[in-house]
Structure 1
Amino acid sequence: MHDRTAAKAAPTGWGVSGHSREAQLRRRFPTVEDLRKAAARRVPSLGYETVAGGAGENLGVGRNAGALDAIEMVPRTGADKGPVATDVTLFGRHYSAPLGIAPMGLQSVFWPGAERHLARAAQRARIPYTAGTVSGIALEEAAELAPDVIWFQLYRLAKDDHRVGFDLVRRAQAAGAHVLVVTVDTPGRAKRPGELRNGLTLPFRPTLRTILEAAISPGWVSALLRNGQPSFPCLSPYCGDNPSKADIAWFAQREVGGAFTFEELKRYRDAWKGPMVIKGVMHPADAEKAVSIGLDGVQVSNHGGRQLEGAPAAIDMLPAIVAAVGSKATVLFDSGVRSGLDVVRAVALGAQAALAGRAFLYGVGAIGADGADYVTTMLIEEVSVAMRQLGAPDMAALRALSIRHASAWQF
């Protein structure tokens, strides 16, 4: 299944009617940064900060971006500069590009109903969609919307000997999730000043500030009226009979979190019948330990700079982890991906694929329901264009490039 520049529209907008909606969007939003700026205007701050903000003073968010920007790749001359194959195989399944949608909490706070838009876009584009434990839709609905590309991300719920966690695994298996992604980089609640300044609570408790902001965010308000107050329906079955959204939010705050031990990961490995990924690894020794107990993949991530402000950039840890386990497991990457070029950088450094989160939500915030489709098209095109410019017709050629990555960690 080769995707020869398979994005829906002509690369960089060539050949697209200048009066079409697609052409207009390309002129207004040629980059993810343009989408971010528009989303910041269209989304109330209580929603925008839940996604855009990081831990502390956002130094980790900036470090992720800066480290990716500093990576240089040397183009090769003489290679076929024509169409390229962007398709990849991950855990035995074919996808159209080395790109996926990462799990994100509070998506429906950023834009009510966002999860449905992202799931549908991933299905249409044939890229992985990772539904989360604290998603705004139940995992069963996510699986119906994205049956060919659905993965499930699990947070730690340790009460009653992981009763809820193991039941979520059972439900994910029954719903047809292809990959279980277990997140290990949330041992405690991080301090995120943007969320604190906005006094975020679920369900929303209107203040004069939020009412005024909502008044100038009609698209967001319309989405809220259609979809209702955000909640975490994956957790609803564990909150008693007919729980309110406040009950579910309180359950999530009380029960979700903590760091998985390797012994716990072994138990989940035994329970899950399919590929299993550990997400949030930043040290090669931890990656080696995870692979030694039977995990199939390692997702190098610092939670997008949202947990530990002083953590290294995730991309700077990638080469050492690839060296440690790349021959034995599938290595994935997330944290700071804002372009197809960032995806190419991660693949050139040894990742099998890179996942993005904020970029897709910025598309929804800036454009609306079809914003996620716009971002998938744009990023896949950017992957294809970068590969063509580098003289790399496929993923193997990308990994053979000469690369300068001065900030990479050595162990």
Structure 2
Amino acid sequence: MAAITNVADLRAIAKRKVPRAIFDYADRGSYDEITIDANRRDLRAIPLRQRVMIDVSDRSLATTILGEPVAMPLAIAPTGLTGLFHGDGEILGARAAQAAGIPFALSTVSICSIEDVAGAVDKPFWFQLYVMRDRGFAASLVERAKAAGCSALVLTLDLQIQGQRHRDIKNGLSVPPKLTLANAVDVMLKPAWAYKVLMGKRRSFGNLQDRVPGGDSLTTLSQWIANQFDPSLSWKDVEWIRSIWPGKLILKGILDEEDARIAADSGADAIVVSNHGGRQLDGARSSISALPRVAEIVGDKAEILFDGGVQTGQDVLKALALGARACMIGKAFLYGLAAGGQEGVAQTIDIIRKELDVSMALTGTRNVLDVDRSVLGDVRSNRPSMQDWISP
């Protein structure tokens, strides 16, 4: 087997191991996929400043997120359907994150439930909440997160209406997947994947199945979820969640300057600069292009987390330089999980850790807490159009 040296290698393995419909759900975005491509393109275009003859023999990646010590400035983002990429995927991801000393966020639409994950790890994890039409059910999820000892609530703001993802429709992705000849052949050619998923603790939406009549049916649950996204969601709902959740509150999905000002005054402990991985509003700006201005507006009112295209340690370094406290990984996490279960997630984290460590050293940086714009090169010599949003 060829050596695995980067997240792209794990992506290639994941593509071979899981059905196409499942892989594309993680890998691709909405409509023409302009925004998902911009996330990676704009990160790659930012140059780093090479420094030499600086003693970097003693380096540290340790920092804090929301006041809690972490081994590196990274967290696993909430991802839906994680348990379909590998049986017990949420549990394996949480265990890998715990072993690596970084936070793990569990999605509302996970396969394993809040209680499943809580019973499988020793340390608290984060829970991501979708505020659906049924506010009573949303409140019950908050209560379950409290009971499980979750250390933070991640409130997703940018999914009031789901963006159309052409590939999901063309692939026949539903829950369970629509049985077509192409899907059937694809699954038959991936028996190891099917066995792991079938032998997993759950094969339904663990957090939701007891809420819906006929909840044993994934089709019923998926239809219920589709009808539950609420276009009336407003900042008043953020106030409500803040009033019933006593712990750390993270608001995910901020790109706009006006939204950043409102979020900064909302009482949230952290804000995630994110465009939902390019899976919602296609044509929205890249997350990295929005980061500097959002960080400037928010200031010290809340910590800034970054999400959107992070697949290397250099991506993390660039985001830290532009104002983020830490980064979140979604696609990179799922690639590792699909490629090798808990070990694959550990590989993803370790690859990013090593890349960040080496890149810090080559920019003359000893401590991740010291990363600032000085590690960036001259943007004008690389992509003049980016100067407007990277310049202080």
TM-score by length of 1: 0.88
Structure 2 distance, partners of 1:256, 1:111, is 26
1:337 is the counterpart of 2:321: no
**Residue pairs, 1:260-299, within 5 angstroms:** 260-299=233-272
Deviations 1:300-341 (A, max 9, x none): 000001111100000000000111113221000001001111
Summarize the Cα distance change of 1:241–1:203 in structure 2 as closer, same or farther, 3 Å threshold: closer
The Cα of 1:366 is off from its aligned counterpart by: 2.3
Q: Which residue of 1 aligns with 2:130?
A: 155
Contact 2:83 2:90 in 1 (8 A): yes
User: 3-state SS of the aligned residue for 1:238?
Assistant: coil
Contact 1:44 1:217 in 2 (8 A): yes
Deviations 1:369-405 (A, max 9, x none): 4211111111111111111111111123211525345
2:67 to 92, 97, 110: 92
The Cα of 1:147 is off from its aligned counterpart by: 4.2
Structure 2 distance, partners of 1:401, 1:409, is 16
Question: For residue 277 of structure 1, what is the amino acid of its counterpart?
Answer: I
Q: Which residue of 2 aligns with 1:6?
A: none
Structure 2 distance, partners of 1:334, 1:242, is 32
Contact 1:156 1:259 in 2 (8 A): no
Structure 1 distance, partners of 2:17, 2:272, is 32
The Cα of 1:225 is off from its aligned counterpart by: 2.4
Contact 2:204 2:217 in 1 (8 A): no
Identity rate, percent: 33
Summarize the Cα distance change of 1:117–1:179 in structure 2 as closer, same or farther, 3 Å threshold: same
1:388 is the counterpart of 2:361: yes
Q: Which residue of 2 aligns with 1:20?
A: none
Summarize the Cα distance change of 1:112–1:57 in structure 2 as closer, same or farther, 3 Å threshold: farther
Contact 1:32 1:359 in 2 (8 A): yes
1:216 is the counterpart of 2:206: no
User: 3-state SS of the aligned residue for 2:199?
Assistant: helix
237-246 or 117-126: which moved more?
Answer: 237-246
Question: For residue 36 of structure 1, what is the amino acid of its counterpart?
Answer: R
User: 3-state SS of the aligned residue for 1:235?
Assistant: coil
1:367 is the counterpart of 2:350: no
Structure 1 distance, partners of 2:138, 2:114, is 13
Deviations 1:214-251 (A, max 9, x none): 12212212212212773211112321476433332222
Summarize the Cα distance change of 1:79–1:397 in structure 2 as closer, same or farther, 3 Å threshold: farther
Structure 2 distance, partners of 1:174, 1:94, is 23
User: 3-state SS of the aligned residue for 2:374?
Assistant: coil
Q: Which residue of 2 aligns with 1:123?
A: 98
Structure 2 distance, partners of 1:374, 1:262, is 39
The Cα of 1:144 is off from its aligned counterpart by: 3.0
**Residue pairs, 1:7-406, within 5 angstroms:** 27-159=2-134, 162-227=135-200, 230-240=203-213, 243-258=216-231, 260-403=233-376, 404=378
Question: For residue 376 of structure 1, what is the amino acid of its counterpart?
Answer: I
The Cα of 1:212 is off from its aligned counterpart by: 0.9
Question: For residue 250 of structure 1, what is the amino acid of its counterpart?
Answer: Q
Summarize the Cα distance change of 1:46–1:230 in structure 2 as closer, same or farther, 3 Å threshold: farther
Contact 2:96 2:342 in 1 (8 A): no
Question: For residue 45 of structure 1, what is the amino acid of its counterpart?
Answer: R
Contact 1:363 1:372 in 2 (8 A): yes
Summarize the Cα distance change of 1:113–1:292 in structure 2 as closer, same or farther, 3 Å threshold: same
Summarize the Cα distance change of 1:402–1:245 in structure 2 as closer, same or farther, 3 Å threshold: closer
Structure 2 distance, partners of 1:146, 1:263, is 34
Structure 1 distance, partners of 2:88, 2:254, is 30
Contact 2:160 2:229 in 1 (8 A): no
User: 3-state SS of the aligned residue for 2:119?
Assistant: helix
> Any unmatched runs of 5+ in structure 2?
380-384
Deviations 1:44-101 (A, max 9, x none): 1111111111011222111000000011121344432213111111112111100110
Structure 2 distance, partners of 1:180, 1:339, is 26
Contact 2:52 2:362 in 1 (8 A): no
Structure 1 distance, partners of 2:50, 2:371, is 10
Question: For residue 86 of structure 1, what is the amino acid of its counterpart?
Answer: L
Structure 2 distance, partners of 1:252, 1:88, is 37
Contact 2:265 2:301 in 1 (8 A): no
Q: Which residue of 2 aligns with 1:14?
A: none
Between the two proteins, the alignment pairs up a number of residues equal to: 384
